[in-house]
Amino acid sequence: MYVAVKGGERAIDNAHRLLASDRRGDTDIPEISTNQIAGQLKLAVARVMAEGSLYDPEVAALAIKQARGDLIEAIFLARAYRTTLPRFGYSRPIETSEMAVERRISATYKDLPGGQILGPTFDYTHRLIDFGLAGDAVPEPPAENAAGLEPAPHVTRLLNDEGLIEQNATRSDAPPRDLTREPLAFPAGRDLRLQNLARGDEGFLLGLAYSTQRGFGGSHPFVGEIRIGEVEVEFFAEELGFAVTLGRVQLTECEMVNQFKGSASEPPQFTRGYGLVFGQSERKAMSMALVDRALRAEEFGQDVTAPAQDQEFVLSHSDNVQATGFVEHLKLPHYVDFQAELGLVRRMRALHAAARADEPDEAPPEEADEPVEDREAAE
């Protein structure tokens, strides 16, 4: 006998208990600490901070632990926490030219003021599983580095001096636009686009950036510079009348230099694509810079033909918290809508069968019917 489905509440509670115990796993194995995550899974923490749009390594590490290593889930947790935090104001613009550089490379100049500093990079490692890491291997202490103290001016500034690259927009005192405080409207200015990209999904941006290299909106890019390191964040306190330092954040900045042959309105010159993300994430910063440049097509009088150049397409689909929510909501019950569709398909099948029955037997076979209804996304 059918019993109306009751006990949804108990089922949910039980599922959550199972989740908690599954997260912990075998209790004979010591529990992972958030310190361990923050200290040894730094790049995962960086990604959660970047896409979670919240610079807090402890919260990010805890989110990763709670999410059982699912980074998009952890990003979601960080975002939901961030949205409840009180907002006191906006920091002063950070000075990446004064960054305490841990890594800094340029693909456009062999040597340059401040030098090329490789820093902690996977580049040039052989991707061989290191079975020694399975045990408690203690690495050699890092070599002492005298460089990195020398000031490292931005590469694009060197080009700027020659007038070979477009001028950066002048700094404005207007409060920055913020897409977490106002809904995004199209066309969106570059400030909002950059904010959207900085929060955007690394994989999505990587795919878009890759597509521009494969001819879907060519951009002829060079890595002017990638730099990673800490910068100071300052806040101008009205009450005090001066700026106070809030702390330091680690950033990855990428300045992409793109060849541009000129258009009716613009002279031939190098143009810029910009990427800036929390933590160490070159892949994300580079992808962001390529997509930023692609999204500027219209500004330079280029035709918008490729997905990466189409701001409505890019900006509307870059957020992985939105995307995962909506894709995964298909798990929710849809039986009311499905019932409506069942009824329709049954009626139309009956009509179809009746029409068939009316036809003479020797009627020529019909062409394949089109699908019953243009499929719309289930909602």
Partner 1 sequence: MTIDDQPLLSARGISKMYGQHVGCTDVSFDLFAGEVLAVVGESGSGKSTLLSVLSTRLEPTGGAVSYRMRDGTMRDVFALNEAERRLLMRTDWGFVHQDAREGLRMGISAGGNVGERLMAVGSRHYGEIRSTALDWLGRVEIDLTRVDDAPKTFSGGMRQRLQIARNLVTQPRLVFMDEPTGGLDVSVQARLLDLLRGLVADLGLAVIIVTHDLAVARLLSHRIMVMRAGRVIETGLTDQVLDDPREPYTQLLVSSVLQV
Partner 2 sequence: MSTTATATTPYNYAYLDEQTKRMIRRAILKAIAIPGYQVPFASREMPMPYGWGTGGVQVTASIIGPTDTLKVIDQGSDDTTNAVSIRKFFQKTAAVAVTTSTSAATIIQTRHRIPETPLTAGQVLVFQVPTPEPLRFLEPRETETRKMHALAEYGLMHVKLYEDIAKHGRIAKTYDYPTMVAGRYLMAPSPTPKFDNPKMHRSPALQLFGAGREKRIYAVPPHTDVVSLDFDDYPFEVNKFDRPCALCGAENVYLDEVILDDRGGRMFVCSDTDHCETRRAEGHRGEILGQEETRA
Binding-site ranges for partner 2 (CB under 8 A):
1-2, 4-9, 11-12, 76, 79-80, 82-84, 86, 180-187, 312, 316, 321-322, 324-329, 332-337, 339-344, 347-348, 351, 370, 372-374, 376-377, 379
Q: Alpha helices of 29-172 — where are they, by DSSP H?
A: 34-40, 42-52, 57-66, 71-82, 155-161
Q: Which does 181 bind (CB under 5 to 8 A by kind): partner 2, partner 1, none?
A: partner 2
Q: Which does 199 bind (CB under 5 to 8 A by kind): partner 1, partner 2, none?
A: none
**Which residues have a Cβ under 8 Å from the Cβ of 278 and sit 6 or more positions away?**
46, 49, 50, 55, 249, 250, 251, 252
Q: Is 3 in the site for partner 1 (CB under 8 A)?
A: no
Closer to partner 2 by Cβ: residue 22 or 376: 376
Closer to partner 2 by Cβ: residue 103 or 199: 199
Closer to partner 2 by Cβ: residue 291 or 315: 315
Q: Which does 169 bind (CB under 5 to 8 A by kind): partner 2, partner 1, none?
A: none
Q: Is 264 in the site for partner 1 (CB under 8 A)?
A: yes
Closer to partner 2 by Cβ: residue 1 or 133: 1
Closer to partner 2 by Cβ: residue 23 or 347: 347
Q: Which residues lie across from 271 on neighbouring strands?
A: 258
Question: Per CB under 8 A, which of residues 6..25 are in contact with partner 1?
Answer: none
Two tokens at 362? 């020797």
Q: Is 363 in the site for partner 1 (CB under 8 A)?
A: no
User: Which range touches partner 1 (CB under 8 A), out of 132-140, 231-239, 261-269, 288-296?
Assistant: 261-269
- The minimum distance between CB 302 and partner 1, in angstroms, equals 14
- The minimum distance between CB 292 and partner 2, in angstroms, equals 20
Closer to partner 2 by Cβ: residue 9 or 111: 9
Closer to partner 2 by Cβ: residue 137 or 354: 354
User: Which range touches partner 1 (CB under 8 A), out of 5-13, 173-181, 239-247, 260-268?
Assistant: 260-268
Of residues 89, 265, 371, 376, which one binds partner 1 by CB under 8 A? 265
Give the interface with partner 1 as residue ranges (CB under 8 A).
263-265
